[in-house]
Amino acid sequence: MENFENQDLIPESDATPQPEIPPMDTAQPAAEPVSPEETAFPAAEGSVPTDALEADPVPPKYEWDCGMTFPPPKKGKTHTVKPRTGVFKRLVACAAVVALVATGCLVTGTVLHSYWAGKNQDLQQQISDLDTQLDRLQSQMQNNTSVGNGNFVPNAGTSGGLTPSQVYAQNVAAVVSISSSSGTGSGFILTEDGYVVTNYHVIENASRIEVKLSNSDTYAGKVVGFDAAHDVAVVKIEATGLPHVVLGSSDALAVGDQITVIGNPLGELTYTQTVGYISGKDRGVSTENTLINMLQTDASINSGNSGGPMFNMQGQVVGIITAKYSGTSTSGASIEGIGFAIPIDDVVKKIQDLIEFGYITGPYLGVSVRDMDSSVSQSFGIPMGAYVATVEKGNCAYAAGVREKDIIIGLGEYTVGSINELTSALQEFKAGDTTTIRIWRSGTIHELNITLDEKPH
């Protein structure tokens, strides 16, 4: 083996004498047998006996043939294996978490079950209530339980109200066509002995009147009397045993109630029926400079329908067809479905007077009036009432002190807020009755004594 004598790798300042390593002799003598009791390695000179090694805690050094000495391997440390308690704790923690989650799920499930059980119960109750309502509605339809003041259209064949076809079949024979030298119109037979009701403008100034029934029987008509202010007239034909209508109540009508109209539109389409609804009540409509209280309807009305009857769904006359709006509005919009009828309750007493006396015997004020504008009333603090447009000199109102631009706000014990209310109040008196009339004039209310005149004829 070669000696490393080259010292160039070590700086001179750091060079220290190195022990000389004797050259190894490759030719070694044959080894002598060694007994089992002897160490596997030859004992070096000055080595420590085995018993001393065990007693001496300082590890001995061994010498090798190469002349170098190395310390023996250090004795390994003894480790005590501790039980792994962390795994057990983790298992316990996992079990606790699972138990908590399960408990939470159980509580949540219980709450949700209770919630949806309540919801289901509410839903079942709603379904039950709906079934009850449907059963009630079906029962109403089957039993013809009326709505809208009894003017509900039921199924055919049920008791109570009638269908439009039933109203027509029941009343068409009592509807007449009227033609005169003044024009054409319609009317209805009120009594079996031939008293026919129509509009005054249908027979106004007529020299000839012809009344034709639905069975084509034709009679000459004679004017019994009329009230031009309310556009109503009575014509008499000489016949007996005639079919006739039954009068109902216009006051019982409600907006939305169904009605039918039978008449002779255009004077040619005789005995035509149209169906509609009450669109409005207490409409003030001017005819020939006279303001008349009207019912409004969307039933189709045309020239020739004037004077014809309006029926409720019990087949009773509740109005007299009088007018319609036609053409276009001031803005250019086309006007459709706006017709008017005189409420039968407003003229029934007048009709009775015309049949009995040939003229209206009711009280008379001798004034022309119009309704107050509600916006004007609110803006200027003026009471609502019947505004006096003109006063006829020599009549009872003028004699009592009523003047133009006064506002009539009361008659006797009745409050007056409109023309209709003034008309209704007058109907509670007779000609010759003495009462009081209250007026508003220039911010002051005056109460005047008045003796009512008889309506001129």
Residue that has been written with the tokens 């407003």 in this structure? 346
Q: What are phi and psi of 349, to 5 degrees?
A: -70, -35
The stretch 103-127 carries a mean pLDDT of: 71
Is the separation of the CB atoms in 412 and 435 below 8 Å? Answer: yes
Q: Where residue 60 falls among pLDDT bands split at 50, 70, 90?
A: low
For the ranges 152-161, 319-328, 356-365, 397-406, the one whose mean pLDDT is highest: 397-406
Residue type, 308: G
pLDDT at residue number 141? 57
Alpha-carbon distances, residue 357 vs 202, 234, 246, 354, 362 (angstroms): 21, 11, 22, 5, 11
Backbone angles phi, psi at 379, to 5 degrees: -70, -40
DSSP state of 291: E
Residue 415 banded pLDDT, cuts 50, 70, 90:
very high
Q: Beta partners for 447?
A: 438
Extract the tokens encoding 451: 């003796």
Contact 164, 312 (CB under 8 A): no
In three-state secondary structure terms, 450 is strand
pLDDT digits (tens, 9 = 90+) for 33-52: 545 444 444 544 444 455 54
Which whole number is the average pLDDT over 351-369?
90
* CB within 8 Å of 422: residues ≥ 6 apart: 369, 386, 408, 411, 416
- Using CA atoms, how far apart are residues 284 and 265, in angstroms rounded to an integer? 24
Residue 194 confidence class, pLDDT cut points 50, 70, 90: very high
Residue 285 CA neighbour count, 13 Å, CB half: 22
- Please write the tens of the pLDDT for every residue from 428-447: 888 899 999 999 999 999 99
**Which pLDDT band holds residue 376 (cuts at 50, 70, 90)?**
confident
Task: Check residue 448 and give its pLDDT.
Answer: 96
So what's the pLDDT on residue 230? 87
| Per-range mean pLDDT, top range of 80-84, 90-94, 433-437 | 433-437
Per CATH, the number for 363-454 is 2.30.42.10
- Closest to 47 (Cα-Cα) out of 73, 36, 39: 39
pLDDT in the model for residue 41: 47
Distance CA 133, CA 127 (A): 10
Taking only Cα atoms into account, the Rg of the chain, rounded to an integer number of angstroms, comes to 60
What pTM was computed for the model? 0.57
**Structural domain boundaries of the chain?**
88-143, 164-357, 363-454
Q: Is 201 left (phi over 0), alpha (psi -120 to 50) or beta?
A: alpha
Ranges assigned E (strand) in 147-206? 175-180, 183-189, 195-198
Q: Quick one: CA dihedral 386, 392, 397, 399, positive or negative?
A: positive
Return the pLDDT at 80.
Answer: 53
Query: Stretch 257-268: mean pLDDT, rounded?
Result: 90
Nearest alpha carbon to residue 225 among 256, 243, 198: 198
- The per-residue pLDDT for range 143-174, each reduced to its tens digit, is 543 434 444 444 433 345 899 999 999 999 99
Contact 218, 178 (CB under 8 A): no
The rounded distance, in Å, linking the Cα atoms of 18 and 115 is 96
Percent of the chain whose pLDDT exceeds 70: 69
CATH class of the structural domain 164-357: mainly beta
- List the one residue out of 412, 418, 423 whose CA is nearest residue 343: 423
% residues pLDDT > 90 (the chain): 44
Residues with catalytic annotation?
A: 201, 231, 306
Range with the poorest average pLDDT among 71-85, 123-137, 196-210, 334-348: 71-85
- CA-wise closest residue to 316 among 241, 236, 252: 252
pLDDT tens column, 272-293:
999 999 999 988 787 665 678 8
Q: What does 35-104 look like in DSSP terms, one character per residue?
A: -TTS-SSPPPTTPPPHHHHHH-SSPP-EE-TTS-EEPPPPPPPP-PPPP-HHHHHHHHHHHHHHHHHHHH
**Integer Cα distance of 297 and 255 in angstroms:** 9
Cα–Cα nearest to 364, from 392, 406, 334, 328: 392
User: How far is residue 436's CA from residue 145's CA, in Å, rounded to a whole number?
Assistant: 46
How many whole angstroms separate alpha carbon 13 and alpha carbon 15? 6
pLDDT of residue 5 exceeding 50, the answer is no
Predicted local confidence at residue 113, as pLDDT: 67
pLDDT band at 407 (very low <50, low <70, confident <90, very high): very high
Banded pLDDT at 27 (limits 50, 70, 90): very low
